Amino acid sequence: MRGRFLAIWIATAALIGSFVYGVASSPAEPSATRVAPHAKPTSCGHGKKTCTPTPSTSASTTPTTSTSPPPTGHKVMVIIEENHSQTEAITLMPHLASWAATYGKATAYVAATHPSLPNYLAIAGGSTFGVADDNGPSSHPIAGDSVFDQTITAGLRAKTYAEGMTSNCMLSNTGRYAVKHNPWAYFNGTVQRANCNANDVPLGTTSSGNLLNDINAGNLPNTGMMIPDLCNDAHDCALTTADNWLAGWVPLLMNGPDYTSGNLTIVVTFDEDDSSAGNNVAFVVIDPRLSGKVVSSAANHYSLTRWLDDNVGAPLLRNAATASDLKAAFGI
């Protein structure tokens, strides 16, 4: 009998010991799922569209880091100078020539016609609208959208900055401000005029004003245009004056957060030549993704209209629909 009791006691002790050990060595709650560390991206300098992440040892994956702007979120700032051929501009404007060599240029870019106004309308509206003079908006009211209006309709931002203009969307000349160089002022539909009144603003100076504020805040528009006054655009003054004006503004643009984040392209071109070179004008593109790019295929002001439309995902406006794809030619 004593042997039987001893066997029962040993079995019971073993069972209790097993239970106690299991409780002590097991957590009361299931452990949380372990989150794998993010893959660390390699460094990504300007000019690289994507950065390949270092593979993670975990089964989970992380998105590839990209320096490319979203398809409809990039910003383009167009600066228009006046009345000189490509050869004259590149020869007599050392700052512009340096940017062209460092970043990119189109060598077979031509303006639409003469004189100034229809060229500005061609860029902003995809057509000259039959205009053959430099008269004001009261002589040439234009129905329909500009590229600026298209951008706003797409839910993005458009803005023009006109030097010498003293109030928004001025419809007449004052001082060295020439309305013929401000194309948005000619689009006179109710919506278009309201857009112009809100977003066609005085430029200011390199020390204060609308453009400097937007540069510093990283708040430049998706479709932007800078309009120098009649001296700084080389219409009434020397190309060296225009070049020095650019040398004051372009570095500010390039040092601003929009450009340093890879989200801004700067385009510098001319409305027309001086009838000396078949209207072949300079077209310089400053973009961190470019390095000495030369585009030799034919292009014109409607190609720039197409670029601005493609950039914001808008329908190609009027003659832009059949224009060469200059944006693709530059590969950006």
What is the domain-level CATH number for residue 132?
3.40.720.10
Is-contact 109 305, C-beta < 8 A? no
Q: What is the DSSP letter of 173?
A: -
- Flag whether 36 is in a domain: no
Task: Give how many domains the chain has, as a whole number.
Answer: 1
Structure tokens at 63: 């998105």
- Flag whether 320 is in a domain: yes
Per-residue pLDDT tens for 61-78? 222 223 454 455 899 999
- Flag whether 56 is in a domain: no
Q: Which residues pair with 284 in a beta bridge?
A: 105, 268
The sheet with strand 200-202 has its strands ordered as: 200-202, 158-162, 223-227, 75-81, 264-270, 283-286, 104-106, 293-295
Residues 6+ apart with CB under 8 A from 268: 79, 81, 96, 99, 246, 250, 282, 283, 284, 286
Better-predicted residue by pLDDT, 270 or 40: 270
- Flag whether 277 is in a domain: yes
| Reported confidence tier of residue 47, pLDDT bands at 50, 70, 90 | very low
Expressed as residue numbers, the domain containing 184 is: 77-330
Residue 45 has pLDDT above 60, yes or no: no
Is-contact 265 287, C-beta < 8 A? yes
Residue-averaged pLDDT of the chain: 85
Which range, of 27-31, 197-201, 227-231, 286-290, averages the lowest pLDDT? 27-31
Regarding pTM above 0.85, the answer is no
- Flag whether 21 is in a domain: no
Average pLDDT, stretch 106-129? 98
Residue 11 has pLDDT above 80, yes or no: no
Spatial separation of the C-alpha atoms in residues 179 and 136, rounded to whole Å: 7
Q: Please give the pLDDT value at position 73.
A: 81
- Flag whether 230 is in a domain: yes
- Flag whether 280 is in a domain: yes
Residue 58 has pLDDT above 50, yes or no: no
- Flag whether 301 is in a domain: yes
Q: Please give the pLDDT value at position 72.
A: 54
Q: Please give the pLDDT value at position 78.
A: 99
Average pLDDT, stretch 274-294? 98
Residue 157 has pLDDT above 60, yes or no: yes
Per-residue pLDDT tens for 231-271? 999 999 999 999 999 999 999 999 999 999 999 999 999 99
